[in-house]
Amino acid sequence: MPAGTEGNGRGAPPGRLRWARPILRAFGLVGQLGLTVVAGGLLGALAGHGLDRWLGTAPAFLIGGLLFGLAGGAVGAYRLIVRYLGE
């Protein structure tokens, strides 16, 4: 085994930067939450806009799609938080 690879298998000495792991995981969670909610809202709004153009009902489906997408993003964010807290 090369020097310095004991412990974690990643090349860093055991215990080095261990304090940073929870902080980095929290930053990763915040990024995932933001992307989940924004992506859900954006996809819902785009689908609603497409339906509005096709059916000529602007902005009914745009608003409905946005709300539906945000609700889906919120459910996805909730699942991420539950999984994060369960680890």
Q: What is the pLDDT of residues 46-60, one digit of tens each?
A: 999 999 999 999 999
**Residue 17: inside a domain:** no
CA distance 20 to 47: 40
* pTM exceeding the 0.85 threshold for the entire prediction: no
Measured in Å, how far apart are the chain's first and last C-alpha atoms?
30
Domain span at 58: 41-87
pLDDT at 87: 77
Q: Does residue 29 have a pLDDT over 90?
A: yes
Residue of 86, 87, 48 whose CA lies nearest to 70: 48
pLDDT at 81: 95
**Residue 46: inside a domain:** yes
Would you give the DSSP letter of residue 12? S
CA distance 64 to 70: 10
Report the domain count for the chain: 1
**Residue 30: inside a domain:** no
Q: Which two tokens stand for residue 78?
A: 């909730």
